[in-house]
Amino acid sequence: MDGAASFCGSFCHNIPSICDSALLRVLLVIVSLLCADVEALQVIGGSVTVEQGGTAILPCYVIDTTDDLTQITWQRRTREKPHNDNLLTVLPREGAQFVNGGDDRFKYIGNFNNKNGTLQFSNVALKDEGSYTCIFTLFPSGNQKTEIPLNLLGMKKHFI
């Protein structure tokens, strides 16, 4: 990143004569546009498969940003409730709080300072199958989110 920045900065100082050419000026604009796009914020999630009654880890964290994180929000859309519903919020001081009634099968195991919103979800039932959305409220980027599909495996087969 530093190499790219100093290359972009010093290019015209070192070779002033060719910077007079219009064509090269266009080229320099392209190079500087490429150089401006070195940091790309990303929310990392994933897809999760779990057995009925098992424990799922819903991974979610942000990389490549120096933004300030003000809140993490989890929403869910499941077989039981097929519309998006707020599940819980995580605030820097208050920690994790349920929004629409508690469900103590969920445990926040991420780390706010590391911009990690990971949830642990135990005793997963078929009705919980669906999509879990984690939203990071960042400044100045605004809300950044990703959806994590949660799939249930069929009942474990018991051989007698």
- Using CB under 6 A as the criterion, what x/- string covers residues 43-72 for binding ligand NAG? ------------------x-----------
Peptide bond into 16 cis (omega under 30): no
Question: Residue 87 CB: number of other CB atoms within 10 A?
Answer: 21
Beta bridge partners of 62: 43
Of 105, 109, 112, 129, which lies in the binding site for ligand NAG, with binding defined by CB under 6 A? 109
Residue 75 binds ligand NAG, judged by CB under 6 A: no
Of 74, 87, 106, 110, which lies in the binding site for ligand NAG, with binding defined by CB under 6 A? 110
Torsion of CA 121, 125, 127, 130, to 10 degrees: 40
Task: Please say which residue, 52 or 120, places its beta carbon nearer to ligand NAG.
Answer: 120
Among the listed residues 61, 37, 31, the one whose alpha carbon sits nearest the alpha carbon of residue 134 = 61
Residue 118 binds ligand NAG, judged by CB under 6 A: yes
Could you tell me the CA-to-CA distances from 64 to 41, 44, 48, 145 in Å, in that order? Answer: 5, 11, 23, 14
Q: How far is the CB of 145 from ligand NAG (least distance, A)?
A: 17
Task: Please say which residue, 73 or 157, places its beta carbon nearer to ligand NAG.
Answer: 73
Residues that bind ligand NAG (CB under 6 A): 61, 109-110, 114, 116, 118
